[in-house]
Amino acid sequence: MNELEPKILTELSGFDFIGAFPRASVPEEEDAITVQRLPKSFEVGRQYVWLKKGYADNDEIFRALQSHLKGSGVTIIEAVEIGHRFIGGLAFRISFQDGKYKGSFYNRLDSRIVKNKTLQKTWSFDDYVLVFDETP
């Protein structure tokens, strides 16, 4: 990993990056799910979205991500369990500071997957979203 990259990227190596979107948007029903290469840099005000193949235990992701980030020197500003959903389990948000990077990582249901049995055979139900409030 490049020392200038946020450490959270190491934790997301088991996920598939599917794109960057404006902060207030969500992928549309007709948007295809396509695995992409990570961008070379990250911008404030964009959402960087990952998916997880197969089953995702969001309780475990929430706990492990905090532990690994703390272990790599990242400051956890806030870690919030938003609620347990009938579909997808735990919804959460983790806000962090990593050097000059400050941002949040959270999950949300991806309606494309929830509504499509074929996609459910490949992906877990959630988008995993990284948003930066500050970057170098």
pLDDT-derived band of residue 38, with 50, 70 and 90 as boundaries? very high
Q: Specify the pTM.
A: 0.91
- How far apart CA 107 and CA 105 sit, in angstroms, is 7
In a domain, 121, yes or no: yes
What average pLDDT does range 56-68 have in this prediction?
A: 96
**Number of domains present in the structure of the chain:** 1
- How far apart CA 73 and CA 109 sit, in angstroms, is 29
In a domain, 1, yes or no: no
Q: Measured on CA atoms in the order 117, 121, 126, 130, is the torsion positive or negative? A: negative
In a domain, 85, yes or no: yes
Q: Give the pLDDT confidence of 72-124 residue by residue, as tens digits.
A: 999 999 999 998 878 878 999 999 999 999 999 999 999 999 999 999 999 99
Q: Residue written as tokens 């990077």? A: 101
Domain span holding position 82: 8-134
75 sits in which H/E element: strand 75-85
